[in-house]
Structure 1
Amino acid sequence: MIASADLHEAGPAIANGTAVLLLAGSSGRVERERAELLAVTGARVRAIRWFGGTGQRPTPHEVPLELFAEQISSLRQDADRVVLFGTSFGAEAALVTASRFAVDGVIAAAPSSVVWAGTDGTSWSSHWTHDGVPLPAVSFDPTWIPAAEPPSFLPLYEASLRVDENATAAARIRVEDITGEVLLVAAGDDQVWPSIYFAGAIEHVRRDAGLKTTIISHPQAGHRMILPGEKAVSGGVSMRRGGTPEADAELGARAWPEILRMLQTAS
């Protein structure tokens, strides 16, 4: 169970049968404002805090996928369709969860195609566990040093993918096992991690498997897209995220029609 303080429900005026599980990234926030915006589509939206909350893991470190599976099961009780919508680490969570538990669609903003390592402050392990077992994860390049403050972590993520190619292959998210449609939103100036590369890798695997995947991108946008009606948000780890408010909003405007379609016709 998730504590009430770690959850926000947004109900539509007229329900269309779709329920959304909304997952933020490393900020750890409950995406209340985005939940209310998405509810305008007719979807019921549940935004949750998935780490740092009551009874939860303190950081994105060995977070059980069962936490998300329980929410999917709960949402299915009153919905015809369930869609996962995650950003950054939340997109990673959504894709990994959907590869193991059936959903009707995934919207992944600034996605990753692999599972990453995380720390609880004393040790490093996978971001996720399933049945109590940590999933294979990409570890970080121990030789990397940031070039500036605040840092761009893009070079770290790119370098870490190359440290151990076998480990990177083992950590690949099995997106071909996601039965529902996948919508990927990625930016060309993402300074956090190579989301545009990850999106291409995901689309390639799913295309070969004959599965529907859509990529929406913008060359000048950064890690955080801004949807129509949203304001730019702050908070989370201090880092360069790339983009500009104008480009981030343009990316959101490009993605919005596809998000609407996914939430209104997910199947």
Structure 2
Amino acid sequence: MRINRKLIISIGVIAIIIISYLVIDSILFNGIKPKPINENGFQVNFFAKENIENKTAVVLIGGGQWGDYWSQEIANKEMVGISLPYIGKEGLPNLPEEIDLEYFESALNWIRKQKSVDPKKIIVMGASRNAELALIIASIFPDMVSGVIAYTPSSVSWSNTVLPYNSNELKASWKYNGIDIPYLPMTKISGNDTEKIRMLDYWENGLSKIDSTHKSHIKVELIKGPILLFSGVDDKVWPSAKMADMIENRLTNNNFKYNFKSIKYQNAGHSISTNPKQLSDLRIGKININGKNYEYEFGGTAEGDLNAKKNAYLQVFEFLLNIKND
């Protein structure tokens, strides 16, 4: 039988390309590749060096590129990074409303059983609304979570209607055992005759309607571990520095016995949780309200955000080192 010489050459070329790619990839990539986990109803990207045991683990609430970036950084420092999405992927809810906290409970139970993880040193970390969720998770599951890192945090749990693409029906954002996590009910943000929206006004208006006894305040005093907060004084998305102060006041009033640190950065806005090695020129966000596109400011300056990110990065690993050595 005559073998097609062109076919053999083509197969050989393809094989060389594949081998070359694998060799180059192994040379250029000096990080830790994730192990995707999709079982027991939850999904994670699990980052850990081989053969490590009993290490501090950080769960990045929200997952995505942000979660993978931080998980990689954490794993490179002899810990375990776990990027945990909960919406927007196949098999997960499309919208952040009525999210069952049992999802995170299942993930935490699985994480605690991993040989590489010290079950007494599991930290949850989030930014913006995922910081809200991280604080709630730590308060609901205090015996499973050993501390919290929250960038541009919220002091309250908000209703689903704070996001214009969610359903119009007022619902809790989070639930546990079929019961709503108490929330601050909000009407949806309204458009206007301009092309810009002042996001900060929307959230501050909501906060102005409640006092310190309102049931929507996150019960941060129930958290059994240290808490680290970062906020930008010039945050124009929502009043993260103000809400960080509200969290601090609640902890103080309840004689919180664990370490607490709130760092507020001048000239910094909402986008301070991303890669500190990258200077971002993204100063404006876009949002669609009732079919019309609007722009909104993140706040801060490019230099202010970068300085905040660099300092916060150092603070994160100092925080984790203290937990590791505790």
TM bucket normalised to smaller: 0.7 to 0.9
1:93 and 1:101 mapped to 2: Cα distance?
Answer: 12
Query: What displacement does 1:142 show?
Result: 6.0
Query: What displacement does 1:166 show?
Result: 6.3
Residue 41 of structure 1 corresponds to 77
**Normalised TM-score (structure 2):** 0.72
Select which of 57, 63, 81 maps to 1:19: 57
Residue 159 of structure 2 corresponds to 117
Contact 1:37 1:229 in 2 (8 A): no
Residue 252 of structure 1 corresponds to 309
Contact 1:43 1:264 in 2 (8 A): no
1:217 and 1:174 mapped to 2: Cα distance?
Answer: 22
Bigger drift between 89-98 and 43-52 goes to 43-52
Select which of 180, 183, 190 maps to 2:228: 183
Q: Which has the higher contact order (CA 8 A, sep 6+)?
A: 1
- Shift of the 126–230 alpha-carbon distance from structure 1 to 2, 3 Å rule, reads farther
Does 1:156 pair with 2:213? no
Does 1:83 pair with 2:123? yes
- Shift of the 218–16 alpha-carbon distance from structure 1 to 2, 3 Å rule, reads farther
Select which of 174, 180, 185 maps to 2:219: 174
Query: What displacement does 1:129 show?
Result: 0.3
Query: What displacement does 1:245 show?
Result: 2.5
Query: What displacement does 1:203 show?
Result: 1.3
Does 1:92 pair with 2:128? no
Query: What displacement does 1:263 show?
Result: 2.0
Q: Secondary structure at the match of 2:224?
A: coil
Q: Secondary structure at the match of 1:123?
A: coil
Q: Secondary structure at the match of 1:251?
A: helix
The residue identity in structure 2 corresponding to 1:20 is V
Contact 1:221 1:248 in 2 (8 A): yes
- Shift of the 16–200 alpha-carbon distance from structure 1 to 2, 3 Å rule, reads farther
Contact 2:72 2:81 in 1 (8 A): yes
- Shift of the 240–149 alpha-carbon distance from structure 1 to 2, 3 Å rule, reads farther
The residue identity in structure 2 corresponding to 1:52 is G
**Normalised TM-score (structure 1):** 0.87
The residue identity in structure 2 corresponding to 1:18 is T
Q: Secondary structure at the match of 2:247?
A: helix
**Cα shift readout 1:58-79 (whole Å, capped 9, x = no counterpart):** 1111111111122222221132
1:215 and 1:116 mapped to 2: Cα distance?
Answer: 21
Does 1:139 pair with 2:185? yes
Residue 13 of structure 2 corresponds to none
* RMSD (Å) for aligned C-alpha atoms: 2.9
Matches within 5 A, 1:184-203: 184-203=229-248
Q: Secondary structure at the match of 2:171?
A: strand
Residue 15 of structure 2 corresponds to none
**Cα shift readout 1:117-176 (whole Å, capped 9, x = no counterpart):** 11432422111001111111112256865585342311000001223x269711000000
Query: What displacement does 1:210 show?
Result: 3.2
Residue 46 of structure 2 corresponds to 9
Does 1:243 pair with 2:300? yes
Contact 1:222 1:248 in 2 (8 A): yes
The residue identity in structure 1 corresponding to 2:71 is A
Residue 70 of structure 1 corresponds to 106
1:168 and 1:142 mapped to 2: Cα distance?
Answer: 24
Contact 1:182 1:213 in 2 (8 A): yes
1:12 and 1:24 mapped to 2: Cα distance?
Answer: 22
Contact 2:60 2:83 in 1 (8 A): yes
Q: Secondary structure at the match of 2:160?
A: strand
Residue 276 of structure 2 corresponds to 228
Query: What displacement does 1:253 show?
Result: 1.8
Contact 1:6 1:54 in 2 (8 A): no
Select which of 127, 130, 155 maps to 2:173: 127
Select which of 217, 239, 252 maps to 1:207: 252
**Structure 2, gaps ≥5 residues long:** 1-35, 288-295
- Shift of the 11–73 alpha-carbon distance from structure 1 to 2, 3 Å rule, reads same
- Shift of the 166–207 alpha-carbon distance from structure 1 to 2, 3 Å rule, reads closer
Q: Secondary structure at the match of 1:125?
A: coil
1:108 and 1:250 mapped to 2: Cα distance?
Answer: 18
**Cα shift readout 1:178-217 (whole Å, capped 9, x = no counterpart):** 0110000111111111100111111122133133210112
Residue 10 of structure 2 corresponds to none
The structure number with the bigger radius of gyration is: 2
Contact 1:16 1:42 in 2 (8 A): no
